Amino acid sequence: MKLNALLAGAALALGLAGAAAAQDKTKVGFVFVGPIGDGGWTYEHNQARLAVEEKFGDAVETVYQESVPEGADAERVLTQMALSGADLIFTTSFGYMDPTINVAQKFPDVKFEHATGYKRADNVGTYSARFYEGRAVQGHIAGRMTKSNVVGYIASFPIPEVIRGINSAYIHAKAANPDVQFKVIWAYTWFDPAKEADAATALIQQGADVILQHTDSTAPQAAAEKAGGIITFGQASDMAEYAPMPRVSSIIDNWAPYYINRVQAVMDGTWESDDTWDGIGAGMVKIGEISNAVPEDVKAEALALKEAIASGAHHPFTGPLNKQDGSVWLAEGEVADDGTLAGMNFYVEGLTGDIPQ
Amino acid sequence: MIRLEKRPSPSRLWTVATPVLAVALTMIAGGLLFAALGKDPVAAIRTIFWDPLFNEQFAAYSRPQLLVKAGPLILIAIGLSLGFRAGIWNIGAEGQYIIGALSGAGVGLAFYPMEAWFIFPLMVLAGGLGGWAWAMIPAILKTRFRTNEILVSLLLVYVAEQILASMSLGLMRNPEGGGFPGSRNLQQYPSAANTELFAGTGVHWGVVAGFVAVILAYVLLNRHMLGFQIRLAGQSPRAARFAGVNPNALVVFCLGVSGALAGMAGLFEVSGPAGQVSIDFNQGYGFTAIIVAFLGRLHPVGILLAGLLMALTYIGGELAQFMLGVPAAAIQAFQGMLLFFLLGVDVLSNYRVRLGKREVA
C-alpha cells in the first residue's frame, strides 16, 4: 500500500518533470565507451556533440557520460539519462545494443540512436559509417609504401566491422602490390594505450613497416615514431599531431552532420527509426590529409580511388573475390551486398591466420 | 609535538568511528577536487550521496539499483574477509567470478531451449563449483609447494580473462548473433534467468545470497569453532598452531569459500543484470570487493554497509557525471580517496595521539 503510494508519487513527479522538459530545451544524451580525450573514436563523437551545441545554441542541452562499460552498467546509465528528461540519446558503441533496446522499451517517448548495431525498434534507430571505404584508400597507400612488404594490423575485436576493414585494406594493398602480406594482432580492446603500443612494437619486430590500427588511441603512432621509418594512419580521428611521419593519412569519422540532422528531426517531430550506413560519398567518412611523406604519384592514385568510391564508380568489394578457403565469393564484376558485409565473418583469399573463434 | 603511542589493543570506539571519519574526509577532499575542476562542490557531493536515494526524479529507479550493484560486491567481500582475517590473501576473486559465470552460464546454455525448474539451481551450483575450482589452484599450490597465493590468484585473473574472450568468440557464441561475439541472452531464457524477485526492488537471487552470506559469516565468526580458528590464525599464527589449527586445511577452506562465493556472484550477474557472456563481462567487482572488505573492517555487518556505500558512490558518481559534467576520472579518484583515507585514519584505532613532550622515563 505504502509502496504503491510511493511509486505513484514517483510516477507523477516523473510525468511532471517530463512535461516540463518538453516545453523548453531539447535534451540530447550521449553515452561514450571511452574517455572524451581518447583522441580517436569517442573524441570524434564528442566533437559532434559540441557541433550540435554550437548549431542549436540555447535550443538544446546536451549531457554525456564517458567510459561507460558495455553491459549492465550501460543499462543503468541509459535509464538514468532517460529519467533525467532526455529526448534523444546516442549510444556510441556496439556493446550498448541490448541495453539500448531494453531501456527503449521502458521509455517509448525517448528516441534512441545506436551506433554500429543491428537491432532496431520504433524508437531505436541505428547508424554506422562505411569505414571500409576509408580502409580501401589506406590499403592502397600501405601497399605502395611498404618496403618490407609486411603490413601490420592492430585489430580490436573479431566482429564484422573490424573484419570488413582488414579485408578491404588487404584487397587494395594487394592490388597495388602483389607481394604484400598482412600480419594481424587481436588486441581485444577499443582503447588501451599500453596494449596498443605493445601490439605495434611486436608487429614492427616482425618486420612490418606499415601499421594500420582499428583501436582508438595514439599509442601505436608513438611506438612507430620511436621505432623510426614506420608509417601509420590516424584512426577515427585525424591524429595530425603525428604528421607528416609516422602518420601519413587517416580515416576520420565525421558524425556532426548526422547528429545535427537527427536532433533537428526530433525538434520537428519528424524523427523515425531507420538504419543509416553512410560512407565517403555522404561525408560521414573522411580521409585525412595525405602528408608529404607520401610520393606525389601515390597520393594522386589514393585521391583518385577516394573519388571513385565517393561517386560510387568503385565498390571496395568488387569481384572476382574468393574467400580465404579458396571458395568463390564474388564473381567478376559482382559487388557485395550490404547484408553479407554487415555480418562478415570470413577473410578474403590471401590473408593468413585465423579469425579468433 | 605530536606523538603516536601504540594502544595495547585496537580502540573499539575508533574501529567504528574511522570509517565514518574516512567518508567525511573523502567528502571534503573530493569537494576540493570538484571545486578545482570548476564544479560546485556541494552540488557534486549532494548528487553523489543524496540524489540516488532521495531525488524524486531518479530515486525510485536508483534505490533498487543500489542493491543490484552492491549484491555481488557484498557476496564476494564476505568470502574474501574470511581469508583476510586468517592472513590468507585471495586477490584473484575477479578470476573466480569470471570462471563461476562461465561454468554457470555454460550449464544454462547447454540446456537451451529446454524449460525446467532445476536448470537455474544447477547453474548456481555450477557457478559456485567453478569459482571454487579456480580458487583451488592457488590453494593447492600454496599447501603443496608453498607458492605465494597473492601472486598465483592475481595472475589467474588474466588467464580467466583470456578464457572468457575465447568462450565469447567460440564455444558460447550466440549462433543467431550474426557473427558478433557474446552468448545468448540468458535473461530471455526463462529457466536460466535470474530475474527480479519483487518488481521494482532490484532484489534478485544474488542480492538474497549476499544477505544470507552476511548472516552465515556472522554466525561462523562468532559462534563457531572454525570462526575462532580463522581469527586466531590471523592474530597469532603460532598460538593457532599450538591450539591445533591445521594451517593447510584453513588455506583450502578460506580460498575455497571465497572462490565459491565469487563464482556464484559471477553466475548471478551473468544470468541477471549482465544477461550474457561477453568479452568484457567482468567489470572489476572482484577487485572492488577487496576495498569493500576492508572498508567494512572485515566484519560481516560492516561489509554489508560498505557494499551499499560503494554502490552509492558508483551510482551517484554516474549521476554527477551527466548531471554536472564531472569527468569519469574524477569519480574514480574520489572512490580511491575513500580507501586512502580509511587506511590513513586507521592509525587512530591502533595508536593514541599524544600532544606534548615525551615524558622522561
Angle at B311 between CA B181 and CA B186, to 5 degrees: 30
Q: Which 8-state DSSP code applies to residue B15? A: H
Please give the pLDDT value at position A17: 45
Mutate to test the interface with B, among A62, A79, A120, A159 (most CBs of B within 10 A): A159
Q: Please, are residues B66 and B52 in contact by the beta-carbon 8 Å criterion?
A: yes
Q: Once rounded to an integer, what is the mean pLDDT over residues A216-229? A: 92
Indicate the pLDDT class of residue B179, thresholds 50, 70 and 90: low
CATH of domain B40-325: 1.10.3470
Q: Once rounded to an integer, what is the mean pLDDT over residues B83-99? A: 95
Indicate the pLDDT class of residue B231, thresholds 50, 70 and 90: confident
Q: Which whole-number Å values give the CA distances from B64 to A107, A278, B57, B68, in the listed order?
A: 18, 41, 14, 7
- Which residue of chain A is at minimal alpha-carbon distance from B55? A10
A158–B65 C-beta distance less than 8 A: no
**What ipTM does the predicted assembly reach?**
0.79
A160–B200 C-beta distance less than 8 A: no
Domain borders along chain A are 21-129, 131-252+285-342
Mutate to test the interface with B, among A98, A105, A195 (most CBs of B within 10 A): A98
- Which residue of chain A is at minimal alpha-carbon distance from B180? A159
| List of chain B residues whose C-beta atoms are within 8 Å of the C-beta of residue A82 | none
Please give the pLDDT value at position A8: 46
CA-based nearest residue to A145, from A110, A122, A103, A173: A173
| List of chain B residues whose C-beta atoms are within 8 Å of the C-beta of residue A3 | 200
> Quick check: A157 pLDDT over 60?
yes
Please tell me which residue, B8 or A194, carries the higher pLDDT value: A194
Domain borders along chain B are 40-325
CATH of domain A131-252+285-342: 3.40.50.2300
Please give the pLDDT value at position B359: 56
Residue burial A84-102, b: 16+ Cβ < 10 Å; e: rest: bbbbbbbbbbbbbbbbbbb
Mean pLDDT of chain B: 89
CA distance A135 to chain B (A): 21
d(CA B19, CA B40): 25
Tell me which CATH homologous superfamily contains domain A21-129: Response regulator (3.40.50.2300)
- Which residue of chain B is at minimal alpha-carbon distance from A99? B274
Q: Helix, strand or coil for residue A194? A: helix
A98–B185 C-beta distance less than 8 A: yes
CA-based nearest residue to A316, from A126, A143, A139: A139
| List of chain A residues whose C-beta atoms are within 8 Å of the C-beta of residue B329 | 35, 67
Please tell me which residue, A7 or B161, carries the higher pLDDT value: B161
CA distance B283 to chain A (A): 7
Length of chain A: 357
B61–A160 C-beta distance less than 8 A: no
Mutate to test the interface with A, among B180, B282, B324 (most CBs of A within 10 A): B180
